[in-house]
Structure 1
Amino acid sequence: MEEKVPTVEAYEAAMVLSGVGDALGYRGGLWEYCTSGAQIHAELAQLGGLEAITLQPPEWPVSDDTVLHLATAEGLCTGLEGEALLQELARRYVSAMGDMEGRKPGPTSILGTSQLRPGEPEGYRIPFNPSGTGCGAAMRSLAIGLRYPHTWELPTLIRVSIESGRMTHHHPTGYLGALTVALFGALGARGEPPERWGAELLRVLPLAWDYVEGTGVAVGDNAAAWPFFRDAWHRYLESRGLLEGCGPPQVPVLSSPAERDAAYLCWALQGWPGRSGHDAPMVALEALLAAGGCWSELCARGVLHGGDNDSTGTIAAGCWGLQGGLEPVPPGLHRCLEYRGRLRDAAHRLYALAWGGP
């Protein structure tokens, strides 16, 4: 099947809206740490709804999610490949930790970056971390799919997403979240509908294991922890009738914030929906499947829920932008967004590298 070529505007929307989803869910830390979607929606109504908000600091800064996503994107924009790219990403992740005032970086990202030694041989590798299950690798990986969107680039996408992911989250539940979001970005960039994404992920996971095993790094630890991620996604896709990647998806209505919170909680680790590498992209995909082309519904389901909603928002809104674009989004949500210029510039450079465009 011939790949559909996206527009540079689609790339721009993906990168800018990833920042929008982050800033909106984060709300300076007020909503990221709120466990009640109903409370978030009530506070949004008091603000006048999405149309009334202007996302800009100090009330609406981007969080660590966008800072680290930009580190990934701008590292990829150098055009480096192989070992040189991995060293560059490690260097940028370490540097990005200097821009975390008021952004609430996760403890695993803090620990992981402190263990990186960019410039040294394999200085981008850190020890296996039994607690490295969080979504900090997933939230920063959409740009990897935008850089390597082609079917023939899948081995590169696997390598870069896994290696960059385990620079901070050396645990399959953590770094496979990075692979998932990168894969979703690649599939979305070439026009594959979201109902096919999960089945493709299950197809790719054995290839990912082949890579992990082939590197010979903490193979035993990785093997023991590997099944959880695969099994969680198998259960989710089976419940939505998407194991074969055929639609229509069987997504429950979940019309109220409380119902969505309860559903997301069933997928979560440690009672924090969207916090982990397996369920942050899961919440995002659920939102994409349910919202279709409706931006406000995407926000209601993928951003404004109880839990780690800036991370799910970064993923969901970025993926939505590939097909929905910026036009349906209230301009106040993106025109003054912190780091908007950097996100836009990275989008254009990623597009040129991937598709040979302007």
Structure 2
Amino acid sequence: MDNTVPSSDLYVAAMLLSAAGDALGYRNQLWEYCKSGAQIHSELKELGGLQNITASLPDWPVSDDTVLHLATGESLATGKLDEELYQELARRYVAAMSDMEGRKPGPTSILGTSQLHPGKPGGYRIPFNPTATGCGAAMRAMCIGLRFPRPSDLQQLVAVSVESGKMTHNHPTGYLGSLASALFTALAVQRVPLEMWGLRLLEALPLAQDYIRSTGSDVECHLEVWEYFRESWERYLSERGLSQGSGHAVFPSQYGPAERDKEYARWCLDDWAGRSGHDAPMIAYDALLGAGDSWEELCSRSMFHGGDSDSTGVIAGSCWGALHGLSGVPEGNYSQLEYRDRLENVAKSLHKLAWPGH
């Protein structure tokens, strides 16, 4: 698969539809904080359905998710690597916090960026945080998979996703969500069958643990709480019949908005589905498995539910875009997005860096 070069259009779609998933799931705070997927679907119908939505300002801004995803992408687009890249990421994460009016950044992201000291030796590292289990690292990491998309890039993808995630969410449940989002996007680029993605994530976890050990920083603290993420994913894959990475996903016989709200709530850590590092990518993955090539179905499952719907939407949208491009997506859902130019520029820059000469 190393020799398969994806179109730059797929990269553009991955960035645009991540922001579309964010804006649609957020709905200027109205839907992110709605606890009923059935209510959201009812309100969507009143709006004339997905086809009738033009995701543009002032009613459909992007949230903190896209602002921080852009910070990640624009850092990667500099072409820097290793320590230089980590300092760049820290600098841009700190700077991004000045663009949070009305975007509802999470308290852990606020705390984490306040502890960063970009430019100083090791200034991109913050203390271990026993409560930093949220999805703030997962929601901004998809573009790491665009930058490091090949199987041969896996070690680099692991290192960058873990280090970038730790800059705010220095807890395995938090930063392993960053690994999941980055890896899933890379697997989409590689055209790995969806049914294999969960197993590939489990196979990458030992690499992430080895990387944590190599840092020599609070290693025992990380290892003490490591298993929750792995066990959560093993349980989910078992329920979907995908523990071996083959076959078809098994869903409940009744799986509409109300049933999905109950299912997603079973997976969550703190009574808000999709809010944590393990279940934001899990809900996005579940939606991808069930949606096929239907953008509308993807939105129904990943963006219009009674949980952290912008964070699950931003991940699902990016992966779906990398798989399917913009085909079948109502133009209004992405054509007038806030920061569209920046999103497209990042996508094209990452494509050039990941696939030089193409």
Q: In the aligned structure 2, how far is the partner of 1:106 from the partner of 1:253? A: 35
Which residue of structure 1 lines up, in the alignment, with residue 307 of structure 2?
307
Q: In the aligned structure 2, how far is the partner of 1:291 from the partner of 1:265? A: 20
Which residue of structure 2 lines up, in the alignment, with residue 294 of structure 1?
294
Q: In the aligned structure 2, how far is the partner of 1:40 from the partner of 1:2? A: 41
Contact preservation (8 Å) 1:18, 1:315: yes
Paired amino acid for 1:110: I
Q: In the aligned structure 2, how far is the partner of 1:200 from the partner of 1:339? A: 32
Between 1:272-281 and 1:320-329, the stretch displaced more is: 320-329
Between 1:187-196 and 1:116-125, the stretch displaced more is: 187-196
Which residue of structure 2 lines up, in the alignment, with residue 355 of structure 1?
355
Contact preservation (8 Å) 1:127, 1:170: yes
Superposed CA deviations along residues 110-155 of structure 1, whole A, max 9, x for unmatched, are 0000000000011000001111000000000000010001111111
Instruction: Show structure 2 runs of 5+ residues with no match.
Output: none
The DSSP-based 3-state class of the residue aligned with 1:23 is: helix
**Alpha carbon RMSD of aligned pairs, Å?**
1.0
Q: In the aligned structure 1, how far is the partner of 2:346 from the partner of 2:326? A: 16
Q: In the aligned structure 1, how far is the partner of 2:57 from the partner of 2:253? A: 35
Tell me the CA shift for residue 4 of structure 1: 2.9
The DSSP-based 3-state class of the residue aligned with 2:111 is: helix
Matched, 1:181 2:165: no
Q: In the aligned structure 2, how far is the partner of 1:273 from the partner of 1:88? A: 31
Q: In the aligned structure 2, how far is the partner of 1:193 from the partner of 1:6? A: 16
Contact preservation (8 Å) 2:37, 2:304: yes
Q: In the aligned structure 2, how far is the partner of 1:193 from the partner of 1:20? A: 24
Which residue of structure 2 lines up, in the alignment, with residue 115 of structure 1?
115
Which residue of structure 1 lines up, in the alignment, with residue 16 of structure 2?
16
Which residue of structure 2 lines up, in the alignment, with residue 45 of structure 1?
45
Matched, 1:215 2:215: yes
Superposed CA deviations along residues 2-61 of structure 1, whole A, max 9, x for unmatched, are 553211111110000000000000000010011100110010000000011111111100
Paired amino acid for 1:38: A
**Counterparts of 1:142-221 in structure 2 under 5 Å?**
142-221=142-221
Q: In the aligned structure 2, how far is the partner of 1:260 from the partner of 1:357? A: 44
**Counterparts of 1:188-267 in structure 2 under 5 Å?**
188-267=188-267
Q: In the aligned structure 2, how far is the partner of 1:92 from the partner of 1:309? A: 25
Which residue of structure 2 lines up, in the alignment, with residue 33 of structure 1?
33
Q: In the aligned structure 2, how far is the partner of 1:110 from the partner of 1:255? A: 36
TM value normalised by structure 2: 0.98
Q: In the aligned structure 2, how far is the partner of 1:357 from the partner of 1:274? A: 39
Tell me the CA shift for residue 254 of structure 1: 4.1
Superposed CA deviations along residues 293-352 of structure 1, whole A, max 9, x for unmatched, are 011000000110001000000000110011111121001111111011111110000001
Superposed CA deviations along residues 67-102 of structure 1, whole A, max 9, x for unmatched, are 000000000000001100000000000000000001
Contact preservation (8 Å) 1:251, 1:286: no
Q: In the aligned structure 1, how far is the partner of 2:2 from the partner of 2:225? A: 37
Between 1:348-357 and 1:1-10, the stretch displaced more is: 1-10
Superposed CA deviations along residues 246-279 of structure 1, whole A, max 9, x for unmatched, are 1212233443210000000000011100000000
Which residue of structure 2 lines up, in the alignment, with residue 271 of structure 1?
271
Paired amino acid for 1:56: S
Which residue of structure 2 lines up, in the alignment, with residue 68 of structure 1?
68
Instruction: Report the count of equivalent residues.
Output: 358
TM value normalised by structure 1: 0.98
Which residue of structure 2 lines up, in the alignment, with residue 7 of structure 1?
7
Which residue of structure 2 lines up, in the alignment, with residue 138 of structure 1?
138
Contact preservation (8 Å) 1:4, 1:191: no
Q: In the aligned structure 1, how far is the partner of 2:277 from the partner of 2:201? A: 14
Tell me the CA shift for residue 225 of structure 1: 0.8
Contact preservation (8 Å) 1:8, 1:357: no
Instruction: Show structure 1 runs of 5+ residues with no match.
Output: none
Paired amino acid for 1:64: D
Q: In the aligned structure 1, how far is the partner of 2:323 from the partner of 2:215? A: 36
Q: In the aligned structure 1, how far is the partner of 2:230 from the partner of 2:355? A: 31
